Each structure stands twice: as C-alpha cells, then as structure tokens.
Amino acid sequence: MSIPPNPPLLSVSWSKLGEWVIGIPLRILGLILLAVVLRWVLHRVIDKVVHRAVEAPALAGKITKMHEPGEEIHASSRRSQRAQAIGSLFKSVVTGVLVAVFATMILDQLGINIAPIIASAGIVGLALGFGAQSLVRDYLSGIFMIIEDQYGVGDSIEVNNISGTVEAVTLRITRLRSLDGTVWYIPNGEILTVGNHSQNWARAVIDVGVGYNEDLNKVQRVLREVSHDLWVDEDFKGQIIEEPEVTGVEALAADAITVRVLVKTLPLKQWAIAREMRQRIKARLDYEGIEIPFPQRVIWHREEKDAAAREQKANA
C-alpha cells in the first residue's frame, strides 16, 4: 500500500499559507502604492490649478482697476491666500477620500466583512452630524465663504452689527478687530449677512448743511470747485477713481438745507477722502460767507422771569 505524495489536506494548507504570506501582502502593497500614486497625482493637479489661479491677472468678476502699486500687491496677495486656502481644502478632501476607500479595500483583502463596518460608520457619522450641527455648519459656511471670496484678511467689514478689520479667517471662525481694539471671534455659521467696505471700490458721502437764506446755485458751484480741486490734487492722485459729483439738495431739515457730494474712491480710502473734503468745504464756505447753521436753544430761568415781571409791575 503506497501513500499519496501530496495529501489533499497538506496541499490546501500550503495553498492558504502561500496566499497569506505572498498573495494578500502583495495585493495590499499594490493598493497602498496605488493610493500613494493617486494622491501624488491629484495633489500635483491641485497645485498646478492653484499656481495658475495665483498667476492670473484677476479672478472672474473681480477685476479692478488699480492705480497704486501697493493696491495691486495687496490684491495679488489676497488672491494667493484665497487660492492656497482652497487648494489646501481640496488636498485634505482628496486625502480623506483616498484613505477611506483604500482602507476599506485593504480590510476586504484581509477577509474582514466590511458591511458591518460601513453600516457602523454610517450610524456614527449620523450621530456626529446631529451632535455637531453647529460645527458642521461653521465649516460649510467657511468653505463657501472662501470659494465666493466674500472677504479676506485686511478687509474692513460689518458682521452681525460688528464693524472691524479682518485679522484671520479659518474654515470655522472669523477674527475681527474693531476700532477700539476689541477682538471678536465670530463662528462662520453665525454670519448671515456681510458688508464689505474693501472690495473693488468705495464711496465717500458728504452731506453739507447750509442756511435757508443761502443761494443754492452758489453753494453747489462752490462745492463743485472744491471737489474739482481735490480731484486734481497730486496728493490724492490715484485714490479718487472718478471726479466727485454734487448731486444737489438731499433734504430740507428743520434748521438747514442738506446738499450731498459723492466721491468714488479706492477701497478703504473713503474715510480719509471724506475727512479731507469736509475740512476743505468748511474753509471755503467760511471764505465765501456761506452760513453753516447749527441748532440754537434759548433757556429761560424762572427766577429771572419772575424778577422781570415784578420790575414791570413796579414800573407800571
């Protein structure tokens, strides 16, 4: 009686051992290499897109005529920061997706049933979604805020009745510093409306009150002359985009007639231009003898009134 050279049990054992020692490790190594290569390729694509966005003259819809080298440098830096932030976000998303997909495939190669894991991950994700709704909302709002370029570092904005300069922007919060130096930390999900004083151009609005006895034609002529002098002033060359406009009578108030002057300026220059305009208007109106009225109040003291009445009665 002869013994078979390769018993079936021994053959199966050697086959399984070879699969665990050689086959499965090689497949796992191949998946890891494929994931690394895909991540490198996708990151390179994102880097090239970001580089082209930084080198572009301006983003669509955001092209602004620059008059000063400093403004152009600021716009380029702003564009670079925004593109790099978006690129970093996309890189993180790509890495997370690749890790999740290839980790699942590796577990499947190890013979682990991934269906319960996927189901458990879905339940955990749902629980985290309900428990961290505000955090998810903050991040989603931050993503859309960066993509839409609503504001950036250095902008002067108004958010939730708070005005200030943006010092930092992350996917979760925005940090503002108000005029008095107070630092405000605002979650992006709490930002419903944003007013930005720093995009494209700004406008200085100067309301001038004159007396009812003044000649309005003369007043408007004087204001146009003052506005033109500021327009051609070399110290303000490039800060004012268009020649100032005197729109005319804006209001008939209780003690004055209000005449409005509009000056279109570069972003963040409107306040300095408005202060200069008010100073020049005040000096010119004084020179022309045009009255700038102010409220007056007459106060009667009861004792003086009673004394005057007694004196009149005594004289009578």
Instruction: Give the CATH number for residue 190.
Output: 2.30.30.60
pLDDT at 298: 65
Return the amino acid letter for 183. Answer: V
Pair (114, 163) in one structural domain? no
Mean pLDDT lowest for which of 64-68, 95-99, 112-116, 177-181? 64-68
211 and 182, same domain (yes or no): no
Q: pLDDT tens, 181-214?
A: 999 999 998 998 899 988 888 999 999 999 999 9
pLDDT score of 307? 63
pLDDT at 70 over 90: no
pLDDT tens digits, one per residue of 226-253: 999 999 998 888 899 999 999 999 999 8
Give domain status of residue 8, yes or no: no
Residues 185, 213, single domain; the answer is no
Residue 262 CB coordination number (10 Å): 14
Does residue 107 sit in the same domain as residue 42? yes
Report the C-alpha gap between 205 and 227 in whole angstroms.
12
Both 27 and 119 in one domain: the answer is yes
- 250 and 156 in a common domain: no
30 and 110 within one domain: yes
The confidence score (pLDDT) of residue 284 equals 94
Structural domains of the chain, count: 3
91: containing domain: 15-131
Q: Are residues 243 and 223 in the same domain?
A: yes
Same domain, 36 and 75: yes
Tell me how many degrees the CA angle 259-263-269 measures, rounded to the nearest 5. 130
Sorted by sequence, the CB contacts under 8 Å of residue 1 that are 6+ apart come out as none
